[in-house]
Amino acid sequence: AFLLSESMRGEGGVLKNIHGKRFCHNYHKLAELAPRDVVSRAIFSEMQKTDSEFVYLDLTGLEKDFVKNRFPKIYNTCLDFGLDITKEYIPVSPAAHYYMGGVETDLWGRTSIEGLYAAGETACTGVHGANRLASNSLLEGVVFGGRSAKAAIVDSKHKTLQKNNVDYKDEIDLSDKYEVYLQEIQETMWENVGVVRNFDGLAKAVSYFNEKLEMISDKKPANQKTGEIINMFYVGKLMALAAASREGSRGAHFREDFPEKSKEDYHIIFKDGKFSPINR
């Protein structure tokens, strides 16, 4: 699978369910041009209704040459998969594509820990709304990467770096099960912390991650792969806990048990071992 550009809908591509029926207008007056989260949920709901793992994107109503020239890479990649998108429907599904939220920073990438900076997708600079707009992520990486580097230079003048030694008791090696855990994490997140969320699913995800983190306890990762998996366990748990704390829906965070948009404009932050809402 690979990512299809949203601009294909912008140029006139339409979504159809597996029975060949358009459906987006049943969910939003802007139909295929509705905001990202609305279209994702419309597709998700249609996939459930038709018991299918995909819907179709139909570009066959557009001029053949226009499609080839406007989307040359997608056209050729689909051809490699044996699909001529000027003549055939493309099977599509929503996918996790960007991590909204992250380590809270100021507008110079400074985190709450002195000397620690975050930029790019890992950071929460506050520049994105309830949906990140297409292509703003790369722009964010460039702008805030530069800004945090400048801040680090200024802040570190006349300062000496302190080395922080962590006192680990034992070592743990999960590299043999890297692929297994990766798949489990992806499935847990997709099923419970995905397009449509509810308390029970989020609690299920939290208990999966708790169980894994208990096994790790305060052991030292034996290698990079183990470190990556442990980080994913922590991030997955934090995402599920934050989503469970947020009893309302906004943009890509949709709670079917709290479908109304929460009135307050707040973020959920994790500080001193606790989640709490803050206005920003």
Ligand X SMILES: Cc1cc2nc3c(=O)[nH]c(=O)nc-3n(C[C@H](O)[C@H](O)[C@H](O)COP(=O)(O)OP(=O)(O)OC[C@H]3O[C@@H](n4cnc5c(N)ncnc54)[C@H](O)[C@@H]3O)c2cc1C
Q: Which residue is nearest to ligand X (CB)?
A: 120
Q: Say whether residue 234 binds ligand X (CB under 6 A).
A: no
Q: Measured from the CB of residue 70, what is the shortest distance to ligand X in angstroms?
A: 15
Q: Say whether residue 3 binds ligand X (CB under 6 A).
A: yes
Of residues 12, 102, 141, 277, which one binds ligand X by CB under 6 A? 141
| Catalytic residue from among 9, 22, 36, 246 | 36
Residue range at the interface with ligand X (CB under 6 A); choices 72-80, 115-123, 196-204, 262-270 = 115-123
As a whole number of angstroms, the distance between CA 217 and CA 44 comes to 37
Pick between residue 83 and residue 100 the one whose CB is nearest to ligand X.
100
Residue range at the interface with ligand X (CB under 6 A); choices 101-109, 137-145, 185-193, 201-209 = 137-145
Pick between residue 227 and residue 251 the one whose CB is nearest to ligand X.
227
Of residues 138, 142, 180, 215, which one binds ligand X by CB under 6 A? 138
Enter the tokens of residue 2: 């690979």
Of residues 120, 248, 251, 277, which one binds ligand X by CB under 6 A? 120
Q: Measured from the CB of residue 132, what is the shortest distance to ligand X in angstroms?
A: 8
Do 24 and 38 form a contact (C-beta atoms < 8 A)?
A: no
List, in sequence order, every residue forming a beta bridge with 104; answer none if it has no partner. Answer: 124
Of residues 137, 175, 245, 262, which one binds ligand X by CB under 6 A? 137
Q: Say whether residue 97 binds ligand X (CB under 6 A).
A: yes
Q: Say whether residue 102 binds ligand X (CB under 6 A).
A: no
Q: Say whether residue 184 binds ligand X (CB under 6 A).
A: no
Establish whether 280 is a catalytic residue.
no
Q: Measured from the CB of residue 66, what is the shortest distance to ligand X in angstroms?
A: 20
What is the amino acid identity at position 120? G
- Residues near ligand X (CB under 6 A) are 3, 97-98, 120-122, 135-138, 141, 227
Q: Which residues are catalytic?
A: 36
